[in-house]
Structure 1
Amino acid sequence: MNILMSGGTGFIGRALVDHFEKQGHTLYILTRGQSRVEGLREYIHWLSEDGDEIDYLSHRKIDVVINLAGEPIGRGRWTPEKKERILHSRIESTKRIIEIVKHLKEKPVVFIQGSAIGYYGYSENDRFTDRSLSLLNSFPSEVCDIWENTLHYLNHPDIRKVIARIGTVLHSKEGFLAKALLPYRFWAGGKIATGNQFVSWIHLEDVVRIIDYLIYEKSMHGPVNLTAPHPVTMDELGHTLASIMRRPYWFPFSEWMIRRTFGEKSVLVTKGSCVLPSKLLHSSFSFQYPTIRKALSNLMQ
């Protein structure tokens, strides 16, 4: 199988590339870096003004497209310039990869569009499924709404379109968990803000397995929540982490303190939403890490 992917050098993208390469698939990875070939991976420079990658790929056979490109939302403060880059990078890359697909002589079977559960907005009371509408009450929800709507430019009837709304991905060396572990290593873990905010998490291995499943499962289309079946509050997450690490859970981090340090970006940890993977739960997919204790126990080995 031939897979065209953007965002293949990111946190989730690298895990997917390794997974697909082990399966023997050919990978065309769109990158801002130099074009090069490494085994089954061909890195193709893109998003230049001349659009050379469009002509280059037009004669290639592409079976699957996975679009994960975009400025990292969790890196750096949300200055006006950073927020503009976060939004613009997602729109620009999605429009360009759609343009690539339009020029392919043979169309892919499926187009998987990356997104995030930030689409739903923040709430301590609501429960969100794949069919829920956005509250549009935060910067991430506005970004995801515009990002997903960009997919409307791809209107080919024979291409199955899936929007992968990815939750808080857990891995011990990168992302949210890697940062959350730091205070516990210094015996200073504790409640973050109220502790009542939900964390709709998912183990990185399950993210890879779900995206692989979405490629082959023809019944899957439209928005699909990539979250574990059992979301937890930040308090539950902290207590479980402290228990597994055999560390105390005592030092409180007030919302005021976090906002003072991180500015508007603090909502990524002080706010949350309970997001349920309804479509996956009603499918044949089986989660390898359905509970937070099982996921953290694996990651902390």
Structure 2
Amino acid sequence: MKIAITGGTGFIGKYLTHYFLSQNHKVYILTRKPDAYDSDDNNLKYIGWSVDSISSLRDKLEGMDVFINLAGESINNGRWTEQQKERIINTRLQVTDTLLKLFKDLNDTPKLFINASAVGYYGTSLNKTYTEKDISTSDDFLAKTVQEWEKHASIAKNLGIRTVYARFGIVLDKQEGALPKMVLPYKFFVGGKVGTGKQWLSWIHIKDVVNLMNFIMHNEEIEGAVNFTTPFPIQMDGFGKTIGEVLGRPHYLPAPSFALKMILGEMSTLVLDGQKVLPNKAQQLGFKFEFPTLRETLTDIYRT
């Protein structure tokens, strides 16, 4: 296959690229700084682009089988000032809209468009369980951002392109993403309950992200929202206890909600609130998680 990825130099993109190359696919990374990367693999190409210039790249991007859009300002990049919130949503919408313009210009449109999304779509709750069938009515910042993002991406369906919204939970990896920050207090023997500890954490091993992406690419009946979370979400206190047990560290020093709100502002919702999200669509279609439980996941990540 020929696979184009925006955001391909980021955390998830790097794992996907490595896997696709191992399967002998051709990978095209769309980046603003192509000269910063070098590859001796003939199946990997870095293509310079911006939201203002992509139409000039049409010839280079004809005949792609799959487009994967992972681009967007990080939600963990400092306090959520009004300016930062604008960047978070605008970067996502601008890239998505630019890709849609490209698709309209192509003579040979891709067969599949996978647009990144997030479980923040559902809003937060301590007692509800969400699946892909649930329609969000939440109006918090993250929910509204994801709702708008998916609305823009959905235009690809009108072009006859199979479209999938990859609703990511917390993606776990040893070096990147949220896990290193969550584990750090335990390494210094000061780990403990965050907030009430009752908030739900819907998560997935980075290896299962790759596995599920591959599963979607090879199963043409899959479209619409797909939850990238394991079947076993866990409450934050249980998450911390499992970290402590796997690393052989205590779980005793709480981080109270009021302190986190003072430090992080509105961004504290990322650790103080959550949602219990299940991957019903993937499971119903036969996907098998390699690492379904948190203990299996952390043991795999920290075994070396």
Q: Same fold (TM over 0.5)?
A: yes
- Please report how far the alpha carbon of residue 65 of structure 1 lies from its aligned counterpart in structure 2 after TM superposition: 1.0
Q: Quote the residue 1:44 is aligned against.
A: 47
Contact 2:104/2:159 (8 A) holds in 1? no
**Partner amino acid for 1:57?**
K
Deviations 1:157-191 (A, max 9, x none): 53211111011101111111110111001100000
1:284 aligns to what SS in structure 2?
coil
Q: Find the partner of 1:285 among 260, 284, 287.
A: 287
Is 1:67 aligned to residue 69 of structure 2? yes
Contact 1:54/1:99 (8 A) holds in 2? no
- Please report how far the alpha carbon of residue 48 of structure 1 lies from its aligned counterpart in structure 2 after TM superposition: 4.8
**Partner amino acid for 1:133?**
I
1:171–1:44 Cα change, 3 Å: same
Q: Find the partner of 2:238 among 228, 231, 236.
A: 236
Q: Quote the residue 2:22 is aligned against.
A: 22
1:129–1:48 Cα change, 3 Å: closer
- Please report how far the alpha carbon of residue 27 of structure 1 lies from its aligned counterpart in structure 2 after TM superposition: 1.1
1:175 aligns to what SS in structure 2?
coil
Q: Quote the residue 2:6 is aligned against.
A: 6
1:82 aligns to what SS in structure 2?
helix
Where structure 1 has 5 or more consecutive residues not aligned to the other structure, the ranges are none
- Please report how far the alpha carbon of residue 29 of structure 1 lies from its aligned counterpart in structure 2 after TM superposition: 1.1
Deviations 1:256-296 (A, max 9, x none): 11111111111000000000000111122110000111101
CA RMSD of aligned residues (A): 1.4
Q: Quote the residue 1:98 is aligned against.
A: 100
- Please report how far the alpha carbon of residue 5 of structure 1 lies from its aligned counterpart in structure 2 after TM superposition: 1.0
Contact 2:231/2:292 (8 A) holds in 1? yes
- Between 1:125-134 and 1:135-144, the stretch displaced more is 135-144
Q: Quote the residue 2:166 is aligned against.
A: 164
Deviations 1:111-137 (A, max 9, x none): 111101011110001100011111324
Q: Find the partner of 2:116 among 110, 114, 133.
A: 114
Q: Percent identity among equivalent residues?
A: 39
What is the rounded CA distance, in whole Å, between the counterparts of 1:76 and 1:233 in structure 2? 25
- Please report how far the alpha carbon of residue 156 of structure 1 lies from its aligned counterpart in structure 2 after TM superposition: 3.8
- Between 1:65-74 and 1:197-206, the stretch displaced more is 65-74
2:116 aligns to what SS in structure 1?
strand
Q: Find the partner of 1:146 among 145, 148, 151.
A: 148
- Between 1:149-158 and 1:227-236, the stretch displaced more is 149-158
Deviations 1:22-75 (A, max 9, x none): 1111111111113676222211111253445443435x2111111111011112
**Partner amino acid for 1:94?**
T
- Between 1:258-267 and 1:37-46, the stretch displaced more is 37-46
**Partner amino acid for 1:16?**
L
Q: Quote the residue 1:173 is aligned against.
A: 175
- Taking structure 2 as the reference length, the TM-score comes to 0.95
